[in-house]
Amino acid sequence: MKELIEKQKFTGLSAAEVEEINAEISHYEDKSAVSIEALKIVQKYRGWVSDECLIAAAELLDMSPAQLEGVATFYNLIYRQPVGKTVIHYCNSVTCWMLGAEKVRQRLCEHLHVELGEMSDDGAYTVLPIVCLGACDHAPVVMVGKELCLDVIENTVSEILGR
Amino acid sequence: MATIEIDGKHYEAQDGQSLLAVCLSFGLNLPYFCWHPAMGSVGACRQCAVLQYQNPEDKRGRLVMACMTPVADAMRISIEAVPASQFRRENIELLMINHPHDCPVCEEGGECHLQDMTEMSGHTFRRYRGQKRTHANQYLGPFINHEMNRCIACYRCVRFYDDYAGGNDLQVFGMHNNVYFGRFEEGALENEFSGNLVEVCPTGVFTDRTFSAHYARKWDLQTAPSVCIHCGLGCNTAPGERYGQLRRIINRYNGEVNGYFLCDRGRFGYGFVNSPERIREPLLDGRSEITPQAAVNYLDNLCQTAKGVIGIGSPRASLEANFALRTLVGEENFFLGLNDIEHTLLSTIFNILRNCGIHTPSLREIEQADAVLIMGEDVTHTAPRLALSLRQSARNATFDLARSLKIAPWQDAAVRELKTQIKTPIFIASVCATRLDDIATDTFHGSPEDIARLGFAIAHRLDDQAPAPELMSDAENSLATAIAAELKQAKCPLIVSGTSCASIAVIQSAYNIAKALPSKDKQLTFTVPECNSLGLAIMGGGRLRQAFERINEGVADSVIVLENDLYRRAHSQTVDLFLQSAAHVVVMDSLRNKTAEQSELLLPTATFAESEGTLVNNEGRAQRYFPVYAVSEPVRGSWQWLTSAMEDSEWRHHDDLTAACAQAFPDLAAIAQVAPGAAYRFKGSKIPRQPERYSGRAAMFANINVREPAPPQDLETPFSFSMEGVTAQVPPALLPVIRAPGWNSNQAVNQFEEGVEGHLRGGDPGMRLIEASGNLAWFNDIPSAFKAEEGQWRIMPLPHIFGSEELSLHSAPIAERRPAPKILLNPLDAQALGVVNGDRLEISRSMETAIATLPVQIETTLPRGLLGVPAILPENQQINNPERVTLKKVAAEAENKPEIFL
Amino acid sequence: MENLDKPLTRNIRPDRGFATLADYENTGGYQGLRKAVTELQPKEVQQWVKDSGLRGRGGAGFGTGLKWSLVPMGDADSDNPHQIRYVIVNADEMEPGTFKDRLLMEKDPHQLIEGIIITAYAVQSHIAYIFLRGEYHLSARRLETALQEARAKGYLGEHILNSEFNLEIHLHTSAGRYICGEETALINALEGKRANPRAKPPHPVVSGLWGRPTVINNVETLCNVPHIINYGVQWYKELGLSAATGTKLFGASGRVKRPGLWELPMGTPIRDILEEHAGGMQDGYKLRGFLPGGASTDFLLPEHLDVAADFDAVAKVGSRLGTGTMIILDDKTCPVQMVLNLEEFFAQESCGWCTPCRDGLPWTVTLLRDIIKGRGRMEDLDTLAGLVRMMGPGNTFCALAPGAMEPLQSALKYFREDFERYIVGNKTLLEAG
Ligand SMILES: Cc1cc2nc3c(=O)[nH]c(=O)nc-3n(C[C@H](O)[C@H](O)[C@H](O)COP(=O)(O)O)c2cc1C
Ligand code: SF4
Ligand code: FES
């Protein structure tokens, strides 16, 4: 799977990507303001932002690749390395930590046979820590893709993944 | 004015200034990192903390960052108070957590701002027990080393490189304590001012790669004040030498000229001084058996006996050397060594500067302009440091807005965040895209004629007395109207032009515009190609063509060529014929070149680093450079060769020559006051070129002779080749090195300025020779519009910062950055010729054989009918406007390297 | 009119999904807007909000009406850059332990939108941005839908409710990083830059987004605005129990019986919140202390339970009301490890701009880790105290680092023996989880 991702030849941003990025541009006083949105749009289609995509997006926004990379590397939700199809974010902030986040992490990693940040062999999952997901009254909390999973206690991990 | 109290002492300061700047200008030791005198405050490093008391009763005070605090009347602060000094000590401790302990092998060592500030803050004991974070380094090209582990994240590099110098390939990546300053990928830093990172970075992250190749500590370098010889702006430099080798060049502050910054050509172009191409001994007919004395006798004899001796001067030689030659051969036999176009351009410029009554600004004044029009120049390539100043003037509209919002101009980030539609109007009319286009409000691309016509049209719109061109297009007319309107509104408009598009009309139109401007404070400046171009123009003399005629017509039979490669100035055949026709050819130069090869007698001359002299920059500022180290016989300064050949001359010393030159030309009268003469003594002694910690003096030549040699004597300047004496309070023109107690880096300059970013105490070096007076009439020669002709192209040499200047090209790092030879073509022309990027075209002069075959690069901004050729080869220099050529596509199989056969 | 004592959450019921536009309109929604644009001058709206005593719910508690009144209003038709003004909603909620804005956006998005429109009217801004944290996917969906509905109904867009007032609202979803919640860093993020904070002054109300005057308010703050306009200043003031006005979302997480979020009058005693609403501690756990308003507030102890939950009262006992969502430290959780978790968060989220925070927080983490691993030394506690002093308010470029130091500073004060126990060798008996 990893090899597969690397092998896909880059032929420029897709028409859909360019269109979505251009639509965002109209919301701001200046083109480069869209940098973060542009990266997120690319990521929506491709899962992560490769060097080629970053260079192409920079060109679209009249920025240098270095300028866009400076932005990309600041934010933690922009992936500059391949990640699994679904990213599992487990909250490791204070309340979740107190109520068992570490065990949740262990279970997730064991279950998927990955270390944090790695892609599972089938390319389906990557587990990453995330800061407080704003659901502390239901700690510990995990976000699978875009879905928030509440009150995750360790023995429901496989259940979450089944969803 | 405000009275402020610092640690119980009272000081007078300007209201609203940054407190840090003010403290530094009082000579107080307050450490800082992120602040920079030219770049203002951002409050990132937190090193400049002081205690501020709210009122006279307040005993506790609160910490404030001095750099972010505006001075106000009755302000009471303490630098020394324990909470402040403790905070600064602990802040340094934090900065040092990840900083490696590699000072002994770090090239910044001994002139490191971080070392200085660490000492100043009193952090001496390390409490941190964890691991240090490490980074990988990048290859950044031939100029700059990268050692990221030394980074203290002050953000000055990106603030200089991006915000100040307009680069975009050096950025900051990552966040928290893992910020990385570098490029997207390895490769040469693209910006032409990258070398300043060496001085802007307070640690050893960015160091001078050319210096690494032959490194020595700052305290081991012998230094003297110098002037950059690589363009006409005359930036002040401080070259350093050890073991008879020039090791590096750093900036020497001059408040009116270069301020804190140099361009990369000026900083890294010095390698020619150490080049194996240097001429080291006199050669007679190519053989080295002639002694210096015999050479002098030969020269003397030649002048006595030859049928006629003419002298060809040089815009890259000092006033004194040119004047000595002129004296030796006689005024009527002295030629400036400029071809017709150069000669006419320079005398036109001199005439305008001298007689037009419009102020020619210094670079500092240029930064104040509130509207700019650039006529025909890509200044980044022709007068690089000027481009950096224009970049600052581009911000003036924003500064005005900031003022109206009560944001101090030194609040750097806050001012830059004011992104509005208001921009300083900057217009660039040029042959094709320039490196300043990103700050331009509008650009115009055309042939020199069309640029000049636009200029005349603008002048006419400003003042209907000014002649108007006929038959302008609607687009040109409306552009002219728009530019005129902006310039008219400006309080301090600036017109920039110069010699690089080789058009008198462009220069004259620039004058007409300046003349037509209503503002009292209008400014007009011209770039000139070489370090003493304007000096030569002031001195005056015959044209190169006339020199050729003298010999070819047999009026004279001998020629002395002073530091001038004539093959850069005229067609080879012409120069060949000339040199062959002369019975005796004497060439004086420092580097081998084609002219030198043709000499009967070749005299080895000292470079700027080994000799003294006066140069006049484009502003008309005369400046003196001094030998950094004693050159060994038989190499001598050109002026020395020449004066020793004048048997009955009274000029024994350089000062005599300078004085005589000043006396001979009213316009040069002030050159004698440029710097104190050789008799100057400070506290009874000469000024040492060597710092007081200069090491190894007793042993450094032990391999030659175990006895410590007596230092060479310097009879020509106020400097000694030794470490005895003091440098702290000498006149600015004689400051060899910037250093103060506790301040070992170049940042010590704040101890020498009248207020931060101000003039040097005692006045910035240099004397302005020309002040605006008089009033010239309108120029009326308006060229007709350029018309592209079927099958014919006009060659436009395009100067390049790395490659167009003769001497710097002999330094390998500069040569490495020279662009590849190529020809630029308009896309439609390329289409008509059936060529695409990378195809090769053969260039021929009409009716003649091919002169070059070069790959094509399509350039959308180049007008049709023009052919852009980077002026990076000696041969390109003599491709003269308005030469027309034909083009022929070369079959693919012939493909290989570019070939030039001129 | 129902549930006038819980204006913010009256449409939010556990038995219902979320409030639709119709639900919202049925309980008086968009009446405040109608009143504002048809009956009130912008300055009057500002004045009402000022008079209501509404203080920012983003953590700092700055007077909302006062903030608006600092916006230079400029001439209507001059070409001065102040002509363009922006309103930004700070919906970056990322402070650990804070979970109030998400609820407001997911469950009653129109309430926020109405608040934004009235705010924009009050400062005559024609473009507003919702700066939403990237992980709040459901909020994003609900807000997008609500924005479309509002546009369709004429609450948003050109000539709002047939008035002369126009407004466009754009939803910007962020790409992570806690520092984006700091208002000036948020502006940089919105401009597509690295989210380093900006120096103040100039304050955003004078020079904010692209140098234009910009009002930034928290989600909850703005949700109060429609009700103040709709029901009046007097009504709003009377909602509060103490001198403080209005209601506030209070929450509790940790080992309490019923972790959750409740809308209660400002000034409700902390004891009521923890014992009555959160149901007290879980069986087998005792209350050891609590962070009253998110991760960047000082610990308080059981002895502080009777303090009123309002900005001034909590400040008086040495902490901050912050976001009003409390994190409970029980007697089986090690306070040193809890502080380490918090400091790891802050060190990781430091933007890297200023020295004390960038390099001081990682050192803090190293020291705490060393202490917990049994490698600590007594003088490390002095070093930690020194770091707390160094990163005190005003010493760093923004308030992240001082916030980070609050739990550490109070832990060193209240739980010193827990630190010392590690150092002298008897490891803690407590374990997390
Ligand atoms: C590090 C840091 C993070 C912050 N995060 C948030 C946040 O997520 N949401 C928020 O509303 N305010 C946050 N704030 C406070 C904002 O800077 C600002 O004070 C607030 O948005 C103003 O709105 P208010 O007056 O309505 O409270 C944060 C402040 C700091 C220093
Ligand atoms: S305190 Fe300094 S480093 Fe930390 S987040 Fe604020 S500005 Fe960034
Ligand atoms: S110099 Fe003042 S904070 Fe850096």
**Residue A109 known to bind ligand:** no
Q: What is the CATH number of the domain that holds B170?
A: 3.30.70.20
Bigger pLDDT: C36 vs B571: C36
**Residue A91 known to bind ligand:** yes
Q: Which residues pair with C327 in a beta bridge?
A: C253, C291
| Structural domains in chain A (count) | 2
For residue A145, the distance in angstroms to the closest alpha carbon of chain B comes to 24
Confidence grade of residue C338 (pLDDT, cut at 50, 70, 90) = very high
The answer as to whether B664 is a domain residue is: yes
pLDDT above 80 for C30 = yes
C97 contact A CB<8A:
yes
- Among A23, A45, A74, identify where a domain stops: A74
B42 lines ligand 3 (CB under 6 A): no
A73, closest residue in chain B (CA to CA): B174
Identify the pLDDT of residue B884: 81
Mean pLDDT within B156-165: 98
Mean pLDDT within C48-56: 97
d(CA B208, CA C258): 64
C295 contact A CB<8A:
yes
Q: What is the CATH number of the domain that holds A70?
A: 1.10.10
The answer as to whether B123 is a domain residue is: no
Identify the pLDDT of residue A159: 78
What are the tokens at C240?
Answer: 């509060």
- Specify whether A13 is located in the same domain as A62: yes
- Specify whether A93 is located in the same domain as A153: yes
- Specify whether B612 is located in the same domain as B715: yes
d(CA A147, CA C260): 20
Range of the domain at B797: 793-894
- Specify whether B46 is located in the same domain as B140: no
Q: Are B494 and B361 in contact (CB under 8 A)?
A: yes
3-state percent breakdown (helix, strand, coil) of chain A, nearest 5: 50, 10, 40
- Among B718, B751, B784, identify where a domain stops: B751
Confidence grade of residue B654 (pLDDT, cut at 50, 70, 90) = very high
For ligand 1, atom 10: residue with the closest CA? C58
A135 contact C CB<8A:
yes
Subunits with 3+ C-beta pairs closer than 8 A to A: B, C
- Among B274, B301, B318, identify where a domain stops: B274
- At which residue do the structure tokens 């107690």 appear? B741
pLDDT above 50 for B230 = yes
Atom nearest to C184 CA in ligand 1 = 17
Q: Mutating which of A26, A29, A36 best tests the C interface, going by the most C Cβ atoms within 10 A?
A: A36
The answer as to whether B756 is a domain residue is: no
pLDDT of B521-567, one tens digit each? Answer: 999 999 999 999 999 999 999 999 999 999 999 999 999 999 999 99
**Residue A132 known to bind ligand:** yes
The answer as to whether B771 is a domain residue is: no
d(CA B801, CA A34): 35
Q: What is the CATH number of the domain that holds B434?
A: 3.40.228
What are the tokens at B741?
Answer: 């107690």
Identify the pLDDT of residue B419: 74
Q: Which among B813, B841, B844 has a CA at the least distance from the CA of B825? A: B841
Distance A145 CA to ligand 3 centre (A): 43
Ligand nearest to the CA of B43: 3
CB contact under 8 A, A132 and C194: no
- Specify whether B567 is located in the same domain as B600: yes
Alpha helices in B665-719 (DSSP H): none
Q: Mutating which of C196, C329, C341, C400 best tests the A interface, going by the most A Cβ atoms within 10 A?
A: C341
d(CA B618, CA B218): 31
CA dihedral angle for residue B65, residue B69, residue B71, residue B76, rounded to 10 degrees: -50
d(CA C113, CA C143): 8
The answer as to whether A81 is a domain residue is: no
pLDDT of A67-110, one tens digit each? Answer: 999 999 999 999 999 999 999 999 999 999 999 999 999 999 99
- Among B215, B239, B274, identify where a domain stops: B274
pLDDT above 50 for C78 = no
Mean pLDDT of chain C: 94
C43 contact B CB<8A:
no
B184 contact C CB<8A:
no
- Specify whether B852 is located in the same domain as B730: no
- Specify whether A122 is located in the same domain as A61: no
B167, closest residue in chain A (CA to CA): A64
Q: What is the 3-state secondary structure (H, E, C) of B807-840?
A: CHHHCHHHHHCCCCCCEEECHHHHHHHCCCCCCE
- Domains of chain C and CATH, by start: 21-239 (3.40.50.11540), 250-330 (3.10.20.600), 335-432 (1.20.1440.230)
- Specify whether A101 is located in the same domain as A151: yes
- Specify whether A114 is located in the same domain as A144: yes
**Between residues 140 and 179 of chain B, which touch chain C (CB distance below 8 Å)?**
152-153, 155, 172, 174-179
- Specify whether A70 is located in the same domain as A91: no
Q: What is the pTM of this model?
A: 0.96
The answer as to whether B239 is a domain residue is: yes
Q: What is the CATH number of the domain that holds B540?
A: 3.40.50.740
d(CA B322, CA B338): 13
- Specify whether A127 is located in the same domain as A150: yes
- Specify whether B560 is located in the same domain as B668: yes
What are the tokens at B876?
Answer: 């390109």
Name the residue facing A98 among C101, C261, C432 (closest C-beta).
C432
For chain B, what percent of residues have pLDDT higher than 70?
Answer: 97
Confidence grade of residue B897 (pLDDT, cut at 50, 70, 90) = low
Identify the pLDDT of residue C16: 79
Mean pLDDT within C131-148: 97
The answer as to whether B608 is a domain residue is: yes
Bigger pLDDT: B203 vs B471: B203
CA dihedral angle for residue B509, residue B431, residue B142, residue B563, rounded to 10 degrees: -50
What are the tokens at B642?
Answer: 């020449």
pLDDT of A25-41, one tens digit each? Answer: 999 988 999 999 999 99
d(CA B541, CA B333): 8
| Structural domains in chain B (count) | 5
Atom nearest to B46 CA in ligand 3 = 3
- Specify whether A92 is located in the same domain as A157: yes
CA angle B520/B403/B521 to nearest 5° reads 10
- Specify whether A61 is located in the same domain as A110: no
Identify the pLDDT of residue C79: 47
For residue C290, the distance in angstroms to the closest alpha carbon of chain A comes to 12
Q: Are C23 and C11 in contact (CB under 8 A)?
A: yes
Q: Are B490 and B425 in contact (CB under 8 A)?
A: yes
pLDDT above 70 for A6 = no
Ligand nearest to the CA of C181: 1
Name the residue facing C93 among A33, A103, A134 (closest C-beta).
A134
Identify the pLDDT of residue A1: 46
CB contact under 8 A, B168 and A64: yes
Identify the pLDDT of residue B901: 44
Identify the pLDDT of residue B571: 87
B414 contact C CB<8A:
yes
- Specify whether A110 is located in the same domain as A133: yes
Range of the domain at A60: 2-74
pLDDT above 70 for B82 = yes
CB contact under 8 A, C98 and A131: no
- Specify whether A116 is located in the same domain as A57: no
- Specify whether B547 is located in the same domain as B506: no
B67 lines ligand 3 (CB under 6 A): yes
C332, closest residue in chain A (CA to CA): A98
- Specify whether B391 is located in the same domain as B361: yes
- Among A44, A74, A104, identify where a domain stops: A74
- Among A12, A39, A74, identify where a domain stops: A74
Identify the pLDDT of residue B704: 84
| Test site for ligand 3: of B35, B36, B79, B152, most ligand atoms within 8 A of the Cβ | B35
- Specify whether B616 is located in the same domain as B698: yes
- Specify whether B13 is located in the same domain as B88: yes
The answer as to whether A80 is a domain residue is: no
Instruction: Report which DSSP code applies to B747.
Output: G
pLDDT of B847-892, one tens digit each? Answer: 667 788 899 999 999 999 999 999 876 555 555 556 788 888 887 6
pLDDT above 50 for B902 = no
The answer as to whether B462 is a domain residue is: yes
The answer as to whether A79 is a domain residue is: no
Q: Which among B433, B427, B426, B430 has a CA at the least distance from the CA of B395? A: B426
pLDDT above 80 for C426 = no
- Specify whether B80 is located in the same domain as B163: no
What are the tokens at B47?
Answer: 């090193």
Identify the pLDDT of residue B26: 94
- Specify whether B514 is located in the same domain as B549: no
- Specify whether A98 is located in the same domain as A54: no
- Specify whether B21 is located in the same domain as B87: yes
